[in-house]
Each structure stands twice: as structure tokens, then as C-alpha cells.
A and B are shown apart, each in its own frame.
Chain A
Amino acid sequence: MRRILPWLLWLWLALVIWAAFFYAPLAEGFVGQSSRILFFHVPMAWVSFVAFLAAGAWSIRFLAGGRRERDDHAAEAAVQLGLLFCVLATVTGAIWAKVMWGAYWNWDPRQTSIVLAMLFYAAYLALRTAVEEPEARRRLAAAYAVLGLVVAPFLFFVLPRLTFSLHPDTVVNTRGRVEMESRMLQVLAASSLAFTVLFFWIHRIQVRLKARAERALPGRTTP
């Protein structure tokens, strides 16, 4: 089962890519084929959101639940991967913005908040490198990640209201309803699921690698 799972995931991803180009119809009001990037852009943004939420949850568990190294590794790996998906979401978004709005970057509130999220988690990683002592590094990084959870709502809910946004409605729009063609919705859901599973799969590998690197420290091997 363990060996088959990754292959199933690759197959699923391949199917999603095929469906995004040949199965899903084009959305109305979009230039050319540009709406197809949505099937990759939205899952990237979604996964980075999940990753940062998970990093916060693991950090809380680290601080409240016995300070286990494993939780800290999990939080760090989630931030690193989340940052990667954040970059991908930003790039796919910028490409789409160039096609639709004529500029890669125009400080749309969504763009501002994703840049801030990236800055925050890059700062998290910078903090980790600035504290040499492992115990203090884990503790301070976890505290900073929890602080991130507190700031995030202001980023996501307050910021977009301050300025006018050109960004299309998110999947569930402000009127609380899903307004999307059903085949598009199917592909979007399949893609989001695929990338979420991909994230957790890479994450598991990362955590195992970190645990191995920790054990390899000479200080720990001597009895």
C-alpha cells in the first residue's frame, strides 16, 4: 500500500492536468484560455493556507504538549513547504494578472496579503537561523508562529476591505454561495485535493529527514 500510494497520487495529478486543459470549459469574462490557470493557482493558495494553519497548530502542540522535537520539525517543514506553495501561488497569480489586468503586479489586496504572509514565514525561518541553542530556537520559533495565527485574520479579512480589489470572487463568494460551472468545480476540487495530498506526502518525508539529521548530531550519539 505504501508503495502504491505515491503512484496513485502521480496518476491523479496527471489526470487533473489533463482535465484542466481538455475537460473543464472556459469561464466567461476571461481573456482567452487564461481561466485555466485557476485550476493550479487556487490549489496553490489553498495549500499554502493549509500549510501555515498546520504550522500554527503544530507550534501550539509543541508549546502545550510536552515540547516534543517531532512537533517542531513538523511546524518547520510545514512553513518551508508553505512558503514554496506561496511562491507558486504568487507566480501563477502574477501571470494571470498580466493577461487579465495588463500588469504582473498592481498591489491588489490579495497580492499584498500573500506577500505579507511570505514575509512573515521568511522571518520565521530567519528567526530559526538566528538562535543557535536548539531548545530556545524551538520555543521562540513556535511562539512566533502562534503570533502569526493572531495576525493572519487581520491580513485576510481586514486588508482586502481597505482598498478596492480587482480580484475575482473567491470560490465561495461574499454572498456565501458557490457560483461556478459544475465541471470547473469538479476539476478545481480534484486539483485541490491532489495538491493537498502532495503537500502532506512531501511533508512526511521532510519530517523524517529532519529527525534523521537531528539524530546524526555527534552530541546525541555518544551514550
Chain B
Amino acid sequence: MSEATLLDFAGVVRAFGRLRVLGGVGGRVAPGEVLAVGGPNGSGKSTLLKCLAGLLAPDRGRIDYREDGESLDTAARRHRVGFLSPDLALYQELSVAENIGFFCRLRGLPAARGEELRARVGLPAERLCGALSSGMRQRLRWAFALLHRPRLLLLDEPLEHFDAAGVALAAALLAEHLDAGGLAVVANPSHLELPRVAGRIDLAL
């Protein structure tokens, strides 16, 4: 029963040309659990999360992700996960509501879901994304990651640019996600109080 939904990876290797960033990383997350990924800048935290999200192909290693007993291939995994990263941006020419509405339509979700989440992260609907502060942009990234109610959340620097209120919001959203039986992998969680940490990977340079 507990194995029905599970992220399990082992021996993940990824090099960029001559630079070997990940040298055989493994881990395991079950529902309601958090896997914390630590390490200094450049140790490969973002690379690992991108590999897990299916945005980068690992050179070697196995990534196995199952939802309700169904094993997902890379394309399905990429589509299902909730991914948050400083490298991810939304359209500056569009307003907050238009951005969220666009991704709702791509994912086939009702507009009400986007509206609900926008209110939850506390963003002004009509403001153009180009005119958002960096903290507000981070809130929009949270909304993008949670939009389709993913079972697996991959959070890279989830607190970047956040003030105290932002940190509290992030903690609440993550707790809700875990209470609902979600899984999470969090990179550099130093300032976030993580509930139910199942394991920790410390990457070295």
C-alpha cells in the first residue's frame, strides 16, 4: 500500500561536458515525506532536481516514479510533477491572471482553480509580470508549481526572495501538500522548517 506512490532513484550521474556535476546520487521519498537536498553552490542541487523533473537526461542511473502503482515514463513525469526553480520564468508581457490562466488552459484545468491559487498566494490579478517584485515572482512560481495539484513537488530554492510572510506562506503550502499525501524534494531548505524529513542528501563540490 505504502509503495503505491513512490519516488526512488539511484546512481544518478550527470556531467556537463568535462564537468561532472552529479556522481551517482540516490534517494527515496514516500507519501507525506520530504527529501532534503543540501550542499554548497555548484554542488549539483539544481541539476539533480532537473533530472528528477525530466528536464535533464541523466547520463547514467535510474529514476523510478510511481503514482498509485503506475510507473511513469520521463514525459509523463515531466508533465505530472510540480517544479519550482529560480531558472523558471513566466511571461513578463502578461498579467498575473493571464499567466495563470494560460497554464490552466494548457493543463486543462478550470479557470476557477487558477483564481483560487492566485488569491491564496496573494498576488494582484491585473499586475503585469514584468512589474512584479522578486518576492512576488517567487509567489507566482509557487502558484505555477501547485496549479495542477501534483503529487510530487520538486522545490529548488523555494524561499528565494521571500520575506517573513512569504516564508510562512511557503511553510503552510508545503505542510498542506504533505498532509494531503504528497511527496517533496527540497533543495537548500536551510531556512524552511521542514516537517517529516525522511532523508537528507548532502552534495559536495
Contacts of A134 in B (CB 8 A): 17
Interface residues of B in 1-21 (CB under 8 A from A): 15-20
Partner of B20, one of A132, A133, A135, A219: A219
Chain A 127-158 per-residue mask, 1 if CB under 8 angstroms from chain B, else 0: 00000111100000000000000000000000
For the complex, is A176 an interface residue (Cβ under 8 Å from B)?
Answer: no
Q: Does B94 contact A (CB under 8 A)?
A: no
Q: Are B17 and A217 in contact (CB under 8 A)?
A: yes
Check B17 against A220 for contact (C-beta < 8 Å). Answer: no
**Does the CB pair A132–B17 fall under 8 Å?**
yes
- Are A135 and B23 in contact, CB atoms less than 8 angstroms apart? no
Nearest A residue to B18, CB-CB: A219
Contacts of A220 in B (CB 8 A): 15, 20
B19 and A219 form a contact (CB under 8 A): yes
In the complex, B57 has a CB within 8 A of chain A: yes
Query: From A221, which residue of chain B is reached at the shortest CB distance?
Result: B20
Complex Cα distance, B15 from A79, in Å, reads 26
Complex interface: chain B residues within 8 A of A218 (CB)? 18
B contact residues around A219 at 8 Å (CB): 15-20
Q: Which of B51-71 contact A (CB under 8 A)?
A: 56-57, 59
Give the CA-CA distance A2 to B123 in the complex, in Å: 72
Contact yes or no, B23 A222, CB < 8 A: yes
User: B15: which A residues are within 8 A, CB to CB?
Assistant: 217, 219-220
Taking a contact as CB atoms under 8 Å apart, the answer to whether A133 and B57 are in contact is no
Chain A: interface residue total (CB-CB under 8 A): 11
Q: Are A133 and B18 in contact (CB under 8 A)?
A: no
* Complex Cα gap A218–B23 (Å): 13
Residues on the B chain within 8 Å of A135, using CB = 56-57, 59
Residue in chain B with minimal CB distance to A139: B57
| Closest chain A residue, CB of each to CB of B14 | A135
- Distance from A54 Cβ to chain B, minimum over Cβ atoms (Å): 25
Chain A: minimal CB distance from B162 (Å): 31
Within 8 A of B (CB), among A90-133: 132-133
Residues in B with CB closer than 8 Å to A132 are 17
A217–B18 Cα distance when bound, in Å, is 6
Q: Is the CB of A133 within 8 A of B17?
A: yes
- Enumerate chain B residues within 8 angstroms of A133, measured Cβ to Cβ: 16-17
**Which of chain B's residues have a CB closer than 8 A to the CB of A67?**
57
Question: A166-203 vs B: 1/0 string, CB under 8 Å?
Answer: 00000000000000000000000000000000000000
Nearest-CB distance from B76 to chain A (Å)? Answer: 18
Q: In the complex, what distance in Å separates the CA atom of A133 from the CA atom of B16?
A: 6
Question: From A69, which residue of chain B is reached at the shortest CB distance?
Answer: B59
In the complex, what residues of A have CB within 8 A of residue B59's CB? Answer: 135
Instruction: Name the distance in Å between B202's Cβ and chain A's nearest Cβ.
Output: 19
A-contact 0/1 string along B70-94, CB 8 Å cutoff: 0000000000000000000000000
Could you tell me if B20 and A222 are in contact, using CB atoms closer than 8 angstroms?
Answer: yes
- Chain A residues with CB under 8 A of B23: 222-223
A223 proximity list for chain B (CB < 8 A): 23
User: Whole-angstrom distance between the alpha carbons of A217 and B20 in the complex?
Assistant: 10
Chain A residue at minimal CB-CB distance from B16: A133
Enumerate the 6 nearest inter-chain pairs by beta-carbon distance, A residue then B residue, closest first: A219-B15, A219-B20, A219-B18, A135-B57, A218-B18, A217-B18
Chain A residues near B (Cβ < 8 Å): 67, 132-135, 217-220, 222-223
| A–B pairs, 8, beta carbons within 8 Å | A132-B17, A133-B16, A135-B56, A218-B18, A219-B15, A219-B18, A219-B19, A222-B20
Apart from the given pairs A133-B16, A135-B56, 6 other A-B contacts in the complex at a CB distance below 8 Å: A134-B17, A218-B18, A219-B17, A219-B19, A220-B15, A223-B23
